[in-house]
Amino acid sequence: MSGPQLASEVVIPPSPALPARRELYYGGQWQRPRGGYAPTWNPATGESLGDCAQANAEDVDAAVQAARAAFPAWSRMKPLERAARMRRVAGVLREHAGELAMLDAANCGSPVAEMVRDAMLAAAQFDFFAGLVTEIKGDTIPMGEGMVNMSVREPYGVVGRIVAYNHPLMFTAAKSAAPLAAGNTVVMKPPVQAPLSAYRWMELIDGILPPGVLNVVTGGTECGAALAVHPDVPFVSLIGSVGTGRAVARAGAERLKRITLELGGKNACIVYPDADLERASSGAVAGMNFTWSGQSCGSTSRLFVHESVHDEVVARVLEKIRHYRPGMPTDPATTMGAIVSQAQLDKIMGYIDIGIGEGATLAYGGKRPRNPELARGFFVEPTVFTGVTADMRIANEEIFGPVLSVLKWSDEEALFEQVNAVEYGLTGAVFTRDLAQAHRAAGRIQSGFVWVNHAGPHFLGTSYGGYKQSGIGRDESIEELLSYTQGKNINIVY
């Protein structure tokens, strides 16, 4: 293993070093985009960070052909050799975690200290999936004398991966790992808002993987849509919103593509009257991911508190939330970053107006910060609405911002009806001292992941993914690796 092993050991540079290459990377080379260039921005300062390639359908086709050409050799390579190359990629991610994190902080607005953890997590995922290559197993079935039946797992070919903006490097890097480990080649589309860390990552790992094995095409909807519809991409995987998930599924349906979708959430955090209220209020705040301004699919943005403890929990939440004060993302001491874009800021401010208009009580925040140093950036204060009722839009729609809606409950049946009334089903959290009650509640929440007596963290090796409209498939575990393989049965007569 090379590089620092813990996020706390990573040295953070004082300022971002912008990547020299801004083209497309495929076939092991930097390639001029036919689709042209568009500027990318620092959402905390409003400054331009230079132009970035915008792949069009022709560019995507060229990248797919490079990935297709690389597939036979990569899929036939001995698994442990694939793994060895992947571990070298992990080492580079760790060695350069500080500079990559600084680029993400400057380009997506999330605090650099948190983006260091993202870079280390991306490295951990490369190591994790490299370690699982010998688990891509089948079975043998004895079929009587002279005959045996066996099953094997094989990769699909070219996997198209399209990712969201809230963890630019982590998604771009980590989400390449499982399909590569399974022997597929990858065409990756990083988020259009924050592609800089992807360019730098490709500069750094150039030459470690054979040409065409991992290709990166930057751009927006045109680029993603071209990848989703491409006939030589049998598997498309998206991290994004429900609307984009539906568009990708529609595009894939024409050719019966395999798809996995990691989509949005409007997740519930439930506090029972017997809960440890200190733990519950800390968890309610942690579950909101205020550090990256609530821009997280897993954020527990609906807090259901039993009426008997409601006021005390709200008081503690309002106290704890003070820790999160918008600041410059590139400052390692910053506890809360900027919103990624003007469009996302407008959406969040729009929902705050909707909440006020619907009659919810604005208990905290709700404004842009007054600090003049932040005046040119897209910052919002952490925001809490109390008195929210289940019929309000702020209790049903994903805001993807730092807005927490608090709902009061008394009857458990009515509670679960409300908890499960939304179209999403990604995560949930339960706070209670009664383990039997915790199990019952976890069983009743319609979501793919439930925390009990805490909220927020993911655990590499455990499956993460959504029920209902929150997605199809499971990531961050062996299930993700195996999802990039298809089964083949072979019957042998001796």
Ligand X SMILES: NC(=O)c1ccc[n+]([C@@H]2O[C@H](COP(=O)([O-])OP(=O)(O)OC[C@H]3O[C@@H](n4cnc5c(N)ncnc54)[C@H](O)[C@@H]3O)[C@@H](O)[C@H]2O)c1
- Tell me the catalytic residues: 262
Is 168 a binder of ligand X (CB under 6 A)?
Answer: no
Is 476 a binder of ligand X (CB under 6 A)?
Answer: no
For 218, residues 6+ apart whose C-beta sits below 8 A from its C-beta are 24, 52, 53, 54, 55, 189, 190, 192, 195, 198, 199
Return the residue of 184, 237, 244, 301 that touches ligand X, per CB under 6 A. 244
Shortest reach from residue 118's CB to ligand X, in Å: 12
Return the residue of 225, 271, 303, 305 that touches ligand X, per CB under 6 A. 225
Is 265 a binder of ligand X (CB under 6 A)?
Answer: yes
Is 25 a binder of ligand X (CB under 6 A)?
Answer: no
Beta strands at 37-41 and 48-53: parallel, antiparallel or unpaired: antiparallel
For ligand X, the closer CB: 91 or 473: 473
For ligand X, the closer CB: 297 or 317: 297
CB 39 within 8 Å of CB 48: yes
Question: Of 43-51, 109-117, 186-194, 354-362, which part binds ligand X (CB under 6 A)?
Answer: 186-194
Separation of alpha carbons 374 and 436, rounded Å: 48
Residues in 97-136 that interact with ligand X by CB under 6 A: none
CB atoms within 10 A of CB 7: 19
For ligand X, the closer CB: 341 or 386: 341
**Contact pattern from residue 272 through residue 311 relative to ligand X, giving x for each residue in contact according to CB under 6 A and a dash for the rest:** -------------------------x--------------
Instruction: Give the residue from 358, 350, 469 showing the smallest Cα distance to 407.
Output: 358
Question: Of 24-32, 143-151, 244-252, 374-382, which part binds ligand X (CB under 6 A)?
Answer: 244-252
Return the residue of 8, 48, 149, 221 that touches ligand X, per CB under 6 A. 221
Shortest reach from residue 335's CB to ligand X, in Å: 21
Residue nearest to ligand X (CB): 224
Name the residue type at position 25: Y
Shortest reach from residue 196's CB to ligand X, in Å: 14
- Structural element, H or E, at residue 68: helix 57-76
Return the residue of 56, 75, 151, 241 that touches ligand X, per CB under 6 A. 241
Question: Which tokens go with 146?
Answer: 């002279």
Q: What is the DSSP letter of 182?
A: T
Is 400 a binder of ligand X (CB under 6 A)?
Answer: yes
Return the residue of 248, 285, 286, 345 that touches ligand X, per CB under 6 A. 248
For ligand X, the closer CB: 221 or 342: 221
Is 460 a binder of ligand X (CB under 6 A)?
Answer: no
For 338, residues 6+ apart whose C-beta sits below 8 A from its C-beta are 43, 44, 109, 110, 293, 326, 329, 374, 377, 378, 379
Return the residue of 99, 114, 127, 398 that touches ligand X, per CB under 6 A. 398
**Which residue reads 């260039």 in tokens?**
37
Question: Which tokens go with 319?
Answer: 């106290």
**Which residue reads 């979708």 in tokens?**
261
Q: What is the DSSP letter of 464?
A: B
Is 192 a binder of ligand X (CB under 6 A)?
Answer: yes
For 227, residues 6+ apart whose C-beta sits below 8 A from its C-beta are 60, 64, 160, 162, 187, 189, 217, 233, 236
Is 240 a binder of ligand X (CB under 6 A)?
Answer: yes
Separation of alpha carbons 178 and 128, rounded Å: 9
Question: Of 7-15, 56-64, 261-269, 360-368, which part binds ligand X (CB under 6 A)?
Answer: 261-269
For ligand X, the closer CB: 57 or 362: 57
CA dihedral over 109, 110, 112, 116, signed as positive or negative: negative
**Contact pattern from residue 410 through residue 449 relative to ligand X, giving x for each residue in contact according to CB under 6 A and a dash for the rest:** ----------------x-----------------------
Separation of alpha carbons 367 and 349, rounded Å: 8
Shortest reach from residue 4's CB to ligand X, in Å: 26
Beta strands across the sheet bearing 140-142: 140-142, 147-155, 485-493
Question: Of 52-60, 151-159, 163-171, 450-458, which part binds ligand X (CB under 6 A)?
Answer: 163-171
Question: Of 92-100, 207-215, 241-249, 360-368, which part binds ligand X (CB under 6 A)?
Answer: 241-249
Return the residue of 252, 264, 377, 425 that touches ligand X, per CB under 6 A. 264
Total interface residues for ligand X by CB under 6 A = 30
CB 452 within 8 Å of CB 240: no
Instruction: Give the residue from 224, 202, 232 showing the smallest Cα distance to 66.
Output: 232
Q: In 3-state terms, what secondary structure has residue 1? A: coil
Burial (Cβ within 10 Å: 0-12, 13-18, ≥19) of residue 210: middle
Shortest reach from residue 238's CB to ligand X, in Å: 6
Shortest reach from residue 198's CB to ligand X, in Å: 11
Interface with ligand X (CB under 6 A): 162-166, 189, 191-192, 220-221, 224-225, 228, 238-241, 244, 247-248, 262-265, 297, 398, 400, 426, 466, 471
